[in-house]
Amino acid sequence: MMLVGVIGGGLAITHATDSDWLMHMSLSGLGLDAGASGILNGTLVALGLILVALAKSLEGTFAGLSSAARLSPRAHRLLTAGFTAAGGAVMVAGLFHNDGQPSHLVHSLASFAAPMVLVATILGGRLAVGALGRHFDRVSVAILVICVGLFLAAYLWHLLPYALMELICFGLIGVWIWLFEEHLQHVIGQSKAS
């Protein structure tokens, strides 16, 4: 997922016709650039598909946690639905351009929904499974604080470009997803050893 995002984002940046996009636009604005839009929107669709595939691949992990009595069937369904919904929102953001009223509204709602659903899913998973380790909890708090701080710095105080804030936050959420899955596997290993 990170590789697709970095390669797709890098290609979109290098193909942008507006060389000042980083200072003046969000990533959604780059999706309207004549040279970059196809690459960026295709990358978003690919990232959405990867998130949906992740939801499918986590089924075995969730089933293992359920059989070890570490996850209820309801939480299992909600976690799968959360990753699937986040992937669907990313795909929708790529399919609907940030131009024109109906399309802009759909794109904007999907763009904001995807990270919120991912954050809620990971936090809900942490609560549903129980302890995922102090390391995971500390990293989770750090990622959330950094993302909120970066958003405030970009949106309210204009201390950094909005698009740069988006890129950094997306990268941090990607790391968080990876850590979440890694710690779930560790919990399953502990349950099997017990």
What pTM was estimated for this model as a whole? 0.91
Q: Which of 17-26, 39-48, 79-88 is least confident? A: 17-26
Q: In Å, how far are 75, 132, 141, 174 from 2, measured between CA atoms?
A: 26, 23, 21, 7
Please report the pLDDT score of residue 134 as a whole number.
Answer: 94
Please report the pLDDT score of residue 101 as a whole number.
Answer: 81
Is the pLDDT confidence value at 172 over 70? Answer: yes
Is the pLDDT confidence value at 23 over 70? Answer: no
Confidence of residue 99 (pLDDT cuts 50, 70, 90): confident
Higher pLDDT, 70 or 52: 52
Is the pLDDT confidence value at 77 over 90? Answer: yes
41-55 pLDDT, tens digit per residue, is 999 999 999 999 999
Please report the pLDDT score of residue 152 as a whole number.
Answer: 96
Domain boundaries, the chain: 2-193
Q: Which of 12-26, 37-51, 158-172 is least confident? A: 12-26
Is the pLDDT confidence value at 40 over 80? Answer: yes
Average pLDDT, the chain: 90
101-144 pLDDT, tens digit per residue, is 898 899 999 999 999 999 999 999 999 998 899 999 999 999 99
Helix spans in the chain (H): 2-15, 21-24, 27-30, 37-57, 59-67, 73-95, 101-129, 134-155, 162-193
Q: Which of 49-53, 67-71, 88-92 is least confident? A: 67-71
Contacts of 18 (CB under 8 A, 6+ apart): 24, 25, 33
Please report the pLDDT score of residue 21 as a whole number.
Answer: 65
Confidence of residue 149 (pLDDT cuts 50, 70, 90): very high
Contacts of 110 (CB under 8 A, 6+ apart): 89, 90, 92, 93, 96
